[in-house]
């Protein structure tokens, strides 16, 4: 039985400027934290592949826009590089303006609606040298950058988002040492999160002040629904704490205009409250979003911490992960595959978040050594990716049928991309990038499948 999706449903894919553009220190662009970190610690990067070794979108964007159309995409989400548009935070780089305007216009020419994000983990190094998201200066700097972007591209771009997965630069940069500056400090992480929230808030305000009446703006959040190990009170409390820290911390202020009181109390009890300014509460209340993008890859299965410290030193003092024995897993990432959660996410948005318009802004499957699955004609037979999308779309469709206001589904990603410390270890794209010749793209089988889904606006 076929399952139809709503009229006008967005079928697309997501990518980002730092992971695809290349020319990371050319054409007027200044260094981001990734450029700097690679320059001082290339050994941390898989096969020494740094931010220059991306997918050459800066050179190939005209062809890429045609390839978007070729696989039936009617929308794409990508980002602007803050370091390319405003290399010193103040001066507009006209070459960047010309590039982005032509890029976005070409998308529209090919029938692809651009959804443009402002920040995808790429902190400018000039700002990091001042303290980055630890400093309040970052809030105003981001708001200014957002205002310039709205003014320069608002006549072309009608859907905007402020941040992609803000929890990643918080957790990876300030809790677990995975990304630069590789700090492990829970209180600093909370302050970084708060300044990120205020940067988002002031960017929303800038959007309203620019008076883009025909545009909408949101935020992209990574949501891993928490499932408790048992119905025991301590496991249910672990689930609540996980949801407060990893989901509600951004979703509640973005949609409802308030930081959850339980989260404030949890932080206060553990001496983790951030420094704030008097007007912040009112600014958050007044600057909520028009829509939400939710990236979903895997669930979060939690249980009570066996020996929590007080006051808490790490999130693991509030909850710890547990290994569900019945899970299906993607062995290349070590991530659980649980499409049922996409239905739960849909119901969460319907029942807890005003049934605000939302879309799946990322969902996908990374696989290593995909050349193993290449046929005699050079096409990768990625049936595993097709199966992954099919299963998730079935549960998403169920949520839509039950009234959740979902308007689109984007996969990660359009074309194989550089993935931070992992380089090209795992591939996600509809198009394969030849690492020996990064100007060469080859459609995978999933591209043909997605084109059929998009054109029919249905799965079967």
- At residue 1 the predicted structure's pLDDT band, cuts being 50, 70 and 90, is confident
Average pLDDT over every residue of 85-108? 98
Q: Give the residues across from 458 on adjacent strands.
A: 4
| Dist. CA 248–CA 251, nearest whole Å | 5
In the prediction, which pLDDT does 92 show?
98
Measured distance CA(102)–CA(118) in Å, rounded:
17
Is 201 inside a domain boundary? yes
| Residue 348 pLDDT exceeds 90 | yes
Domain count, the chain: 1
- pLDDT value at 212 more than 90: no
The mean pLDDT value for 21-27 works out to 96
Does residue 120 form part of some domain?
A: yes
The pLDDT score that the predictor gives to residue 439 is 82
Binned at pLDDT 50, 70 and 90, residue 51 comes out as very high
**Taking each helix axis from N to C terminus, what angle separates 57-70 and 94-109, rounded to the nearest 10 degrees?**
10
Average pLDDT, the chain: 97
Q: How far apart are CA 73 and CA 446, in angstroms?
A: 13
Rounded to an integer, the average pLDDT of 363-386 is 96
Question: According to the model, what pLDDT value does residue 224 have?
Answer: 87
Helix (H), strand (E), coil (C) string for the chain: CCEECCCCCEEEEECCHHHHCCCCCCCCCCCEHHHHHHHHCHHHCHHHCCCCCCCCHHHHHHHHHHHHHHCCCCEEEEECCHHHHCCCCCCCCHHHHHHHHHHHHHHHHCCCEEEEEEECCCCEHHHHCCCHHHCCHHHHHHHHHHHHHHHHHCCCCCEEEEEECHHHHHHHHHCCCCCCCCCCCHHHHHHHHHHHHHHHHHHHHHHHHHCCCCCEEEEEEECCCEEECCCCHHHHHHHHHHHHHHHHHHHHHHHHCCCCHHHHHHHHHCCCCCCCCCCHHHHHHHCCCCEEEEECCCCEEEECCCCCCCCCCCHHHCCEECCCCCCCEECCCCEECCCHHHHHHHHHHHHHCCCCCEEEEECCCCEECHHHHECCCCCECCHHHHHHHHHHHHHHHHHHHCCCCEEEEEEECCECCCCHHHCCCEECCCEEEECCEEEEEEECHHHHHHHHHHHHCEEC
How many angstroms from the chain centroid is the CA of residue 388?
19
Q: Is residue 224 part of a domain?
A: yes
174 contacts 189 by C-beta, under 8 angstroms:
yes
Average pLDDT over residues 75-103: 98
Taking alpha carbons only, the member of 201, 227, 216 closest to residue 293 is: 216
List b or e across 395-433, with b for residues whose CB sees 16 or more CB atoms inside 10 angstroms. Answer: bbbbbbeeebbbbbbbbbbbbbbbbbbebbebbbbbbbb
Q: Domain for residue 459, yes or no? A: no
Cα radius of gyration (the chain): 21
Task: Tell me the average pLDDT across 77-106.
Answer: 98
Q: What CA–CA distance (Å, rounded) separates 16 from 31?
A: 16
Residues whose CB falls within 8 Å of the CB of residue 45, separated by 6 or more in sequence, listed in order:
38, 421, 423
pLDDT at 53 over 90: no
pLDDT digits (tens, 9 = 90+) for 282-292: 999 999 999 99
Sign of CA dihedral 7, 15, 70, 391: negative
Residue 161 sits in which domain range? 3-454
Rounded CA separation 292/254 (Å): 8
Q: What is the pLDDT of residues 168-190, one digit of tens each?
A: 999 999 999 999 999 999 999 99
Measured CA to CA, the distance from residue 144 to residue 150 in angstroms comes to 10
- How many residues are there in the chain? 460
What is the mean pLDDT of the segment spanning 430-454?
95
Among candidates 260, 269, 250, which has minimal Cα distance to 317? 269
C-alpha–C-alpha distance, residues 428 and 370, integer Å: 10
- CA 215 – CA 421 distance, rounded (Å): 35
- Is 68 within the bounds of a domain? yes
| Percent of all residues in the chain with a pLDDT value above 70, rounded to a whole number | 100
Phi, psi of 279 (to 5 degrees): -80, -5
Interval 118-151: pLDDT, tens: 999 999 999 999 999 999 999 999 999 999 999 9
pLDDT tens readout for residues 250-298:
999 999 999 999 999 999 999 999 999 999 999 999 999 999 999 999 9
Determine, yes or no, domain membership for 428: yes
Q: Which of 211-220, 347-356, 447-456 is the least confident region?
A: 211-220
- Please give the Cα distance from 361 to 338 (Å, whole number): 17
pLDDT at 344 > cutoff 90: yes
pLDDT at 403 over 80: yes
Cβ contact 153:101 at 8 Å: yes
In a domain, 460, yes or no: no
Task: Supply the residues annotated as catalytic.
Answer: 165, 362
Could you tell me the CATH number of the domain that includes residue 12? 3.20.20.80
Whole-number Å distance between alpha carbons of 434 and 416: 9
144 located within any domain:
yes
What's the distance, CA 12 to chain centroid?
A: 14
């Amino acid at each position: 039985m076929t399952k139809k999706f709503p009229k006008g449903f967005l079928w697309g894919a997501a990518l980002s400027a730092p992971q695809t553009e290349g020319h990371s220190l050319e054409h007027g662009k200044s260094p981001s934290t990734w450029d700097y970190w690679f320059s001082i610690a290339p050994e941390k990067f898989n096969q020494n592949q740094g931010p220059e070794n991306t997918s050459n979108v800066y050179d190939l964007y005209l062809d890429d826009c045609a390839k978007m159309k070729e696989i039936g995409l009617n929308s794409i989400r990508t980002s602007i590089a803050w370091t390319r548009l405003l290399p010193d935070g103040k001066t507009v780089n006209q070459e960047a303006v010309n590039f982005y305007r032509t890029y976005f216009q070409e998308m529209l020419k090919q029938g692809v609606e651009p959804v443009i994000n402002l920040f995808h983990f790429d902190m400018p190094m000039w700002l990091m040298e001042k303290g980055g998201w630890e400093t309040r200066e970052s809030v105003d700097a981001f708001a200014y950058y957002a205002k310039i972007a709205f003014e320069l591209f608002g006549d072309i771009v009608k859907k905007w988002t402020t941040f992609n997965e803000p929890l990643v630069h918080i957790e990876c940069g300030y809790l677990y040492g995975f990304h630069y500056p590789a700090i492990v400090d829970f209180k600093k992480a909370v302050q970084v999160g708060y300044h990120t929230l205020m940067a988002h808030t002031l960017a929303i305000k800038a959007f309203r002040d620019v008076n883009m009446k025909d545009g909408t703006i949101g935020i992209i959040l990574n949501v891993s629904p928490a499932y408790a190990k048992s119905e025991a009170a301590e496991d249910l409390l672990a689930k609540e704490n996980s949801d407060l820290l990893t989901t509600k911390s951004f979703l509640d202020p973005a949609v409802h205009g308030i930081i959850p009181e339980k989260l404030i109390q949890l932080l206060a009890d553990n001496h983790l409250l951030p420094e704030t300014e008097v007007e912040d509460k009112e600014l958050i209340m007044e600057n909520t979003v028009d829509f939400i993008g939710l990236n979903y890859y895997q669930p979060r299965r939690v249980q009570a911490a066996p020996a929590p410290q007080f006051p808490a030193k790490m999130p693991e003092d509030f909850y710890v992960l547990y290994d569900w024995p019945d899970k299906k897993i993607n062995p290349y990432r070590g991530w659980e595959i649980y499409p049922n959660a996409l239905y739960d996410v849909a119901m969460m948005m319907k029942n807890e978040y005003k049934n605000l318009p939302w879309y799946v802004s990322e969902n996908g499957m990374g696989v290593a050594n995909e050349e193993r699955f290449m046929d005699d004609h050079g096409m990768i037979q990625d049936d595993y990716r097709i199966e992954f999308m099919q299963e998730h779309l079935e549960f998403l469709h169920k949520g839509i049928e039950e009234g959740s206001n979902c308007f689109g589904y984007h996969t990660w990603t359009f074309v194989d991309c550089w993935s931070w410390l992992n380089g090209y270890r795992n591939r996600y794209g509809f198009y394969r990038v030849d690492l020996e010749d990064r100007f060469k793209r080859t459609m995978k089988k999933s591209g043909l499948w997605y084109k059929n889904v998009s054109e029919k606006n249905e799965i079967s």
